[in-house]
């Protein structure tokens, strides 16, 4: 075994394997940093190149790329508040506030350090615990997966930012959204409005990008500020070295979260999707001082980043050794394995053990190399937080909408991102927490699927007595106990609104005048969803009904709570109109509406001229009209954006573009020598 | 006579010279149509999966067999179980010969009017049709206490749990109908998302019997079978024109289901379950996967691609490539056979369709 272990290392360092590994690392940095891409797209991109390669080089390149995406995805999460990939969604909760405080370099330093640690830890732990993996996987059947889903939802309390009532209601909304499309029990589409787009589940990427990215981008646009609220010359501390020290100071937290990541990562269909949220929930619950979570607590960056890198190694070994892919990405890796003529199974742990270890080493080396590379670059990366917001907005909009488009190459992806952008904006302004929605959306379909199978395979509720289910129930109980303690604990002296705004830019932004209409709409949505569900057979309607009934009750309570807040606000300002004018002015609602108008115009124009022209046009119009930049800068920026669309998204990713009106008649009049892909 | 011979000789030389010249003149239609062009290969399933892998095996090489050697680019458009890509191919795809679809064909879905289908298989331009090795019924050997050794033991099995995806899946229909025909009681557990999850469910004991594709059986389940923990019980044969089973070359270690039924029951299968199963087998027999172009695609382009596809499928290199990447070789089905069946879709007896619909409905949870 030791011989194979070191032979694996030797194989990776041989030429050309090491060259391909480095190529994979560089590709992975790029793929991870761009919102909406991520490891799966990277694997799809590189897979065809591996057909003619020998196995060690092929896997060095694939794993080099795949392993580092959950390190480089931290850049967008911390710098822009936009999740680079699904694995770094939880990182934005504290990473972005740190960047707003001018401490982006610190957050990046801590994130890169624990990412490298998590990746290496995951690979090592898996390598030494190989004999345990198959029994673990086989003992987690549908009932256990369902209960793990419930455990994930129990974290809602920690993700609700102090408003558990609204957090739970939002979680119900997330579950309701997860039921869109064909039901698990029968081929009956739910809430699909007879649209092809809604026949599948709502795609995650457009929802996440809309919910989190668009409100943050709009913030930059309507307030015309840089990401950091504090000028570069006034920042105190917050350097990369401090971040590395933070990582070492919290070594025990990093180990715990990396262990979560490793072992949760091996569970097929569940692990990688929620591990960052579980890690975040864990750090909030296990911390004595929770006051800074959501406002820029470095532990909120360390926990998810240590966990999400550890899942990569965790998911790989069962794929290779038992042919059990833990995620879509590992399913692609399994395909790569078969393409190489290697079969998953005991041979990979005996005859080909050196190749298996070369994969483990590829992950380890890639994690270390990327951490060093990104740390060298982090000082430069951190400067983005001091760049004027108007210069960032068009670029981020390009990545957000193209990232959403990657979900399914459908107009629906853009509309989903846009609608979720409005929802995200309203939630942010009215104190409705957004993370529970994402967590429930991820878990909803997994839970419904697991529950349906559990009740069929284990006769009704017989599965509730399985030993691992009981253990998870106990953990859920403890989790809820911790959550309820924080709810009922006497509130400490509230910071003044001014104080909060100074540090995080939040605080006054939460208004009951916006929350009340939002609560009412949400309540009506739950009621409508309940009656709509009545037309379906029992197994099809059970799960949505189980979400909308508590959702409606909780929202009703929120309406009462918000109505009190509105009355208070009216009392403070004399009358409703004055209160509304005040909040509208403070929150720059008018400018926000205009910004959404810009986005809507972009979507409508896309139908006419297509994405390759509309996005550059948006860049020009935004920079000149809104940002007041010169034509030269606007045109130069737009050409850069267009080149990115044509070279990267078209010629490298081979995307399907929207068939615009222009695309239907332009080819017939365009001279032969002009390639169509430059324009349509 | 001499003059006449001279004339004939001259004519012969001119004719030979013309023929010789013809060899060097490029065919303007064939060579130029695809010269410097890119053909997009559309796949309606996620990248990296089995369909994607199979598509790349064939289409990456197809360009070499088309005059002008176009670049082949694979693009995926997953969604609605593959319908999204087919709807696109039917209504929105360019008809200039630059788009080719490849994937599994589910004619039965069209017959039963599955929701989301906005296309008509009959209208597409078929380019090539293939049959993958048949699907296999497998199960745990501990489903009977003395150990499951041969297909005869299925009659002794008790407490069978058949894992499946959804009642309308062809694979699930094959699993249910076979057990019902044999009169073996079983519990049908649906909801597993694909072959990997089904294999895992059977491996862990949550279910104990299932039907799966040959690729899944021969790769993912090879070790449990070798260790004696699982067993391939029978495969579902393709049917010839007289509805007799065709022996599968790729599967030698188990009998086909019709053979099993005849041995155990001493007669030919019949009844609603058999009608449902037969309909699935009948349509799978004329193609499991196809390469197709949009309706009304430029005829010259369709001809070129058909010839290229046929030539490629006969080459040795594509067989080697299939064996390396897929682990098996597929069978080519003559396009005329597939096309005849496709054109007869509207002529299928409505009673058979109603029977299939009723059979699917009976599998749904109540």
| B197/A268 Cβ within 8 A | yes
> Chain B residue closest to A333 (CA)?
B48
At residue A35, the pLDDT reads 77
pLDDT band at A328; cut points 50, 70, 90: confident
pLDDT band at A111; cut points 50, 70, 90: very high
What are the pLDDT digits (tens) for B81-126? 888 899 999 998 889 899 999 999 988 899 998 888 999 999 999 9
| A44/B189 Cβ within 8 A | no
Mean pLDDT within A409-420: 93
- DSSP code for A560: H
Return the higher-pLDDT residue of B251 and A380: B251
Contact between A118 and A258 under an 8 Å Cβ cutoff? The reply is yes
Q: What angle do CA A236, A239, A241 make, to 5 degrees?
A: 135
Tell me the chain B residues in contact with residue A656 when contact means C-beta distances shorter than 8 Å: 75, 77
Task: Give the minimum alpha-carbon distance from A141 to chain B in angstroms, rounded to a whole number.
Answer: 7
What are the pLDDT digits (tens) for A661-679? 998 888 888 887 888 888 8
Distance between CA atoms of residues A39 and A86, nearest Å: 10
Mean pLDDT within A108-131: 84
pLDDT band at B32; cut points 50, 70, 90: confident
Phi, psi of A52 (to 5 degrees): -95, 10
Return the higher-pLDDT residue of B200 and A48: B200
What are the pLDDT digits (tens) for A350-368? 777 888 888 888 888 998 8
At residue A290, the pLDDT reads 81
Return the higher-pLDDT residue of A232 and B52: B52
- DSSP code for A347: G
| A343/B204 Cβ within 8 A | no
At residue B65, the pLDDT reads 94
What are the pLDDT digits (tens) for A229-257? 766 665 665 688 889 999 999 999 999 99
Contact between A641 and A621 under an 8 Å Cβ cutoff? The reply is no
ipTM here: 0.85
Distance between CA atoms of residues B161 and A40, nearest Å: 34
At residue A505, the pLDDT reads 40
At residue A230, the pLDDT reads 67
Mean pLDDT within A92-108: 89
Task: Give the minimum alpha-carbon distance from A563 to chain B in angstroms, rounded to a whole number.
Answer: 42
Mean pLDDT within B117-139: 95
What are the pLDDT digits (tens) for A169-216? 999 999 999 999 988 777 788 999 888 888 888 888 899 889 988 998
At residue B136, the pLDDT reads 97
Pair of tokens at residue A631: 């034509």
What are the pLDDT digits (tens) for A472-494? 999 888 878 877 766 555 555 44
The domains of chain B are located at 29-132+288-333, 136-283+354-363
Pair of tokens at residue B158: 């008790």
Phi, psi of B293 (to 5 degrees): -115, 165
At residue B198, the pLDDT reads 92
Residue A273 clears pLDDT 70, i.e. is over it: no
The CA-atom distances, in angstroms, between B171 and each of A510, B181, B211, B262 are 53, 16, 6, 21
Return the higher-pLDDT residue of A491 and B252: B252
Distance between CA atoms of residues B304 and A200, nearest Å: 36
Distance between CA atoms of residues A565 and B43, nearest Å: 53
Mean pLDDT within B189-216: 91
Return the higher-pLDDT residue of A323 and B38: B38
Distance between CA atoms of residues A90 and A81, nearest Å: 10
Distance of CA A291 to the CA centre of its chain: 24
Question: Of A185, A189, A656, which has the smallest distance from its Cβ to B75's Cβ?
Answer: A656
Q: Which of A413, A392, A395 is nearest to A205 (CA)?
A: A413
Residue B135's Cβ-side half-sphere holds a number of Cα atoms within 13 Å equal to 20
Phi, psi of B186 (to 5 degrees): -155, 160
Show the beta-strand stretches assigned E in chain B: 38-43, 71-76, 99-104, 125-131, 136-140, 160-163, 186-189, 209-212, 230-235, 238-239, 245-246, 289-293, 331-333
| A185/B190 Cβ within 8 A | yes
Q: Say yes or no: domain B29-132+288-333 is CATH 3.40.50.150.
A: no
Burial letters A147-169, b for 16+ CB under 10 A, else e: bbbbbbbbbbbbbbbbbbebbbb
pLDDT band at A499; cut points 50, 70, 90: very low
Q: Report the share of chain B in percent with pLDDT over 70.
A: 91
Distance between CA atoms of residues A405 and A645, nearest Å: 12
HEC per residue, B231-269: EEEEECCEECCCCCEECCCCCCCCCEHHHHHHHHHCCCC
Does A268 reach chain B within 8 Å, measured CB to CB? yes
Does A539 reach chain B within 8 Å, measured CB to CB? yes
Size of interface A-B (CB pairs under 8 A): 147
Tell me the chain B residues in contact with residue A324 when contact means C-beta distances shorter than 8 Å: 196, 200, 220
What are the pLDDT digits (tens) for B167-186? 989 999 999 999 999 999 99
Does B186 reach chain A within 8 Å, measured CB to CB? no
Contact between A55 and A340 under an 8 Å Cβ cutoff? The reply is yes
* Contact residues, B window 229-268, toward A, CB-based 8 Å cutoff: none
> Chain B residue closest to A136 (CA)?
B204
| A137/B191 Cβ within 8 A | no
pLDDT band at B300; cut points 50, 70, 90: very high
Do B29-132+288-333 and B136-283+354-363 show the same overall fold?
yes
Tell me the chain A residues in contact with residue B196 when contact means C-beta distances shorter than 8 Å: 268, 323-325, 331
Dihedral angle over CA of A368, A373, A374, A376, nearest 10: 130
At residue A493, the pLDDT reads 46
Contact between A155 and A479 under an 8 Å Cβ cutoff? The reply is yes
Mean pLDDT within A584-613: 91
> Chain B residue closest to A455 (CA)?
B189
Does B307 reach chain A within 8 Å, measured CB to CB? no
The fold for domain B136-283+354-363 equals D-Maltodextrin-Binding Protein; domain 2 (3.40.190)
> Chain B residue closest to A196 (CA)?
B116
At residue A238, the pLDDT reads 62
* Contact residues, A window 409-448, toward B, CB-based 8 Å cutoff: 409-410
Pair of tokens at residue B351: 């009673």
Question: Of B92, B191, B364, which has the smallest distance from its Cβ to A453's Cβ?
Answer: B191
| B201/A138 Cβ within 8 A | no
Q: Report the DSSP pairing between strands B209-212 and B125-131.
A: unpaired
Task: Give the minimum alpha-carbon distance from A635 to chain B in angstroms, rounded to a whole number.
Answer: 31
HEC per residue, A8-73: HHHHHHCCCHHHHHHHHHHHHHHHHHCCCCCHHHHHHHHHHHHCCCCHHHHHHHHHHHHHHHHHHH
Residue A496 clears pLDDT 50, i.e. is over it: no
């Amino acid at each position: 075994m030791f011989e194979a272990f070191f032979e694996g290392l030797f194989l990776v360092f041989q030429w050309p394997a090491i060259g391909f590994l480095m190529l994979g690392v560089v590709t992975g940095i790029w793929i991870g940093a761009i919102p909406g891409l991520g490891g799966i797209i990277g694997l799809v991109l590189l897979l065809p190149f591996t057909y003619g390669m020998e196995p060690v080089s092929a896997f060095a390149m694939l794993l080099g790329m795949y392993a580092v995406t959950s390190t480089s995805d931290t850049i967008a999460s911390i710098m822009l508040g936009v999740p680079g990939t699904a694995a770094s969604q939880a990182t934005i909760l504290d990473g972005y506030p740190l960047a707003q405080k001018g401490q982006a370099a610190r957050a990046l330093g801590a994130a890169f350090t624990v990412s490298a640690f998590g990746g290496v830890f995951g690979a090592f732990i898996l390598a030494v615990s190989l004999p345990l993996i198959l029994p673990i996987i086989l003992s987690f059947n549908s009932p256990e997966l369902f209960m793990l889903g419930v455990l994930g939802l129990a974290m809602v309390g920690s993700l609700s930012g102090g408003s558990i009532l609204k957090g739970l209601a939002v979680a119900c909304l997330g579950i309701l959204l997860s039921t869109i499309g064909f039901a698990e029990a029968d081929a009956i589409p739910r809430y699909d409005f007879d649209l092809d787009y809604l026949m599948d589940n709502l795609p995650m990427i457009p929802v996440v990008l809309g919910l989190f990215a668009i409100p943050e981008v709009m913030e930059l646009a309507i307030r015309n500020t840089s990401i950091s609220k504090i000028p570069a010359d006034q920042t105190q501390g917050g350097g990369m070295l401090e971040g590395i020290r933070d990582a070492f100071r919290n070594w025990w937290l990093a180990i715990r979260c990396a262990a979560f990541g490793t072992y949760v990562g091996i569970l097929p269909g569940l692990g990688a999707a929620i591990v960052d949220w579980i890690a975040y929930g864990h750090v909030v619950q296990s911390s004595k001082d929770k006051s800074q979570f959501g406002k820029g607590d470095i532990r909120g960056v360390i926990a998810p980043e240590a966990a999400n890198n550890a899942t990569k190694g965790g998911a790989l070994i069962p794929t290779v050794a038992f042919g059990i892919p833990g995620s879509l990405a590992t399913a692609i890796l399994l395909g790569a394995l078969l393409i190489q003529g290697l079969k998953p199974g005991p041979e990979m742990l005996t005859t080909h053990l050196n190749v298996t270890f070369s994969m483990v080493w590829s992950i380890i080396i890639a994690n270390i190399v990327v951490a060093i590379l990104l740390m060298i670059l982090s000082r430069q990366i951190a400067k983005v937080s001091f760049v004027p917001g108007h210069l960032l907005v068009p670029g981020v909009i390009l990545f957000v909408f193209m990232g959403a488009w990657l979900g399914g190459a459908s107009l629906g992806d853009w509309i989903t991102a846009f609608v979720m952008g409005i929802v995200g904006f309203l939630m942010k302004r009215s104190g409705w927490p957004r993370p529970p929605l994402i967590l429930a959306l991820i878990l909803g379909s997994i839970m419904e699927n697991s529950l349906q199978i559990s009740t069929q395979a284990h006769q009704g509720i017989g599965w509730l007595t399985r030993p691992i289910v009981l253990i998870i129930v106990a953990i859920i109980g403890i989790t809820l106990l911790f959550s309820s303690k924080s709810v009922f604990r006497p509130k400490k002296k509230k910071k003044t609104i001014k104080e909060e705004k100074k540090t995080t830019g939040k605080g006054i932004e939460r208004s009951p005048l916006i929350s009340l209409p939002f609560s009412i709409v949400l309540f009506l949505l739950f009621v409508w969803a309940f009656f709509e569900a009545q037309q379906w057979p029992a197994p099809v309607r059970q799960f949505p009904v189980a979400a909308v009934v508590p959702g409606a009750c909780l929202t009703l309570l929120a309406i009462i709570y918000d109505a009190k807040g509105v009355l208070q606000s009216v009392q403070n300002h004399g009358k409703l109109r004055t209160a509304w004018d005040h909040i509208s002015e403070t929150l720059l609602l008018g400018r926000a509406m205009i910004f959404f108008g810009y986005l809507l115009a972009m979507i409508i124009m896309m139908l006419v001229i297509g994405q390759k022209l509309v996005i550059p046009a948006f860049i020009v119009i935004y920079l000149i009209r809104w940002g007041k930049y010169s034509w030269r800068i606007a045109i130069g920026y737009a050409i850069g954006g267009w080149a990115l669309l044509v070279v990267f998204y078209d010629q490298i990713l081979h995307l399907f573009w929207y068939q615009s009106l222009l695309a239907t008649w332009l080819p017939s009049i365009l001279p032969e020598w002009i390639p169509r892909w430059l324009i349509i | 006579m001499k003059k006449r011979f001279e004339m004939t000789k001259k004519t012969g030389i001119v004719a030979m010279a013309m023929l010789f010249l013809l060899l060097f003149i490029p065919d303007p239609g064939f060579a130029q149509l695809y010269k410097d062009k890119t053909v997009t290969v559309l796949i309606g399933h996620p990248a990296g999966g089995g369909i994607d892998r199979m598509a790349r095996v064939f289409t990456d090489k197809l360009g070499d067999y088309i005059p002008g050697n176009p670049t082949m680019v694979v693009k995926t458009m997953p969604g609605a179980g593959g319908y999204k890509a087919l709807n696109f191919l039917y209504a929105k795809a360019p008809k200039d010969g630059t788009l080719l679809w490849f994937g599994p064909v589910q004619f039965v879905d069209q017959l039963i009017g599955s929701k989301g289908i906005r296309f008509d298989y009959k209208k597409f331009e078929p380019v090539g049709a293939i049959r993958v090795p048949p699907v296999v019924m497998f199960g745990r050997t501990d489903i009977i206490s003395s150990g499951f050794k041969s297909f005869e033991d299925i009659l002794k099995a008790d407490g069978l749990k058949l894992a499946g995806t959804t009642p309308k899946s062809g694979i699930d229909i094959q699993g249910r109908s076979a057990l019902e025909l044999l009169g073996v009681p079983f519990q049908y557990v649906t909801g597993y998302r694909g072959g990997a999850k089904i294999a895992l469910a059977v491996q862990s004991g949550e279910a104990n019997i299932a039907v799966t594709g040959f690729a899944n059986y021969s790769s993912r389940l090879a070790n449990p079978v070798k260790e004696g923990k699982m067993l391939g019980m029978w495969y579902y044969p393709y049917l010839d024109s007289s509805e007799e089973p065709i022996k599968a070359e790729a599967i030698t270690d188990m009998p086909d289901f019709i053979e099993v039924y005849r041995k155990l029951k001493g007669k030919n299968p019949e009844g609603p379950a058999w009608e449902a199963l037969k309909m699935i087998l009948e349509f799978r027999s004329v193609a499991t996967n196809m390469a197709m172009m949009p309706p009304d695609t430029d005829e010259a382009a369709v001809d070129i691609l058909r010839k290229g596809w046929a030539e490629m499928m006969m080459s040795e290199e594509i067989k080697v490539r299939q064996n390396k990447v897929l682990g098996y070789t597929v069978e080519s089905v003559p396009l005329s056979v597939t096309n005849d069946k496709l054109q007869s879709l509207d002529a299928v007896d409505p009673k058979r369709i109603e029977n299939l619909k009723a059979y699917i409905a009976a599998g749904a949870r109540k």
